């Protein structure tokens, strides 16, 4: 006799609301996620977004740069500085996605 949990699991699997791509998350999906995060950090504008919230690079130099917030600001500025390699990575990912489907 089937238990209540078995019936729920069977009903949940029949709904099939999770796409097959989400069911199998591999290294490629994780790399795509990191690339999207790097893209998001690279487009942040210092004047409009970062400085208005106290996250300017000049405010976090010296001893304050060792804090978590200082490290995060350094990461944001590193991604903004390395935009050319980021564009190349995006191009590679797009080509691979077009070829592989």
Are residues 29 and 21 in contact, defined by beta-carbon separation less than 8 angstroms? yes
Segments forming the whole domain that contains residue 32: 25-100
Note the pLDDT of residue 66.
74
For the chain, list residues with pLDDT below 70.
1-24, 60-65
In this prediction, residue 11 carries a pLDDT of: 58
The model's pTM: 0.63
Q: Is 3 contained in some domain?
A: no
User: Coil, strand, or helix at residue 83?
Assistant: helix
Q: Could you give the C-alpha distances from 55 to 38, 40, 78, in angstroms and in order?
A: 17, 16, 14
Question: What domain count does the chain have?
Answer: 1
What are the Cα distances from residue 43, in Å, to 9, 10, 25, 30, 78? Answer: 42, 44, 26, 20, 12
Give me the pLDDT at residue 64, please: 66
The reported pLDDT for the residue numbered 15 is 52
């Amino acid at each position: 006799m089937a238990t209540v949990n078995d019936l729920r699991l069977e009903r949940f699997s029949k709904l099939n609301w999770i796409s097959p791509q989400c069911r199998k998350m591999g290294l490629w999906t994780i790399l795509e996620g990191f690339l999207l995060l790097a893209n998001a950090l690279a487009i942040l504008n210092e004047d409009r977004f970062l400085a208005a919230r106290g996250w300017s690079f000049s405010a976090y130099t010296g001893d304050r740069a060792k804090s978590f917030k200082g490290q995060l600001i350094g990461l944001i500025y590193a991604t903004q500085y390395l935009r050319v390699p980021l564009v190349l990575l995006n191009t590679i990912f797009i080509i691979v996605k077009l070829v592989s489907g």
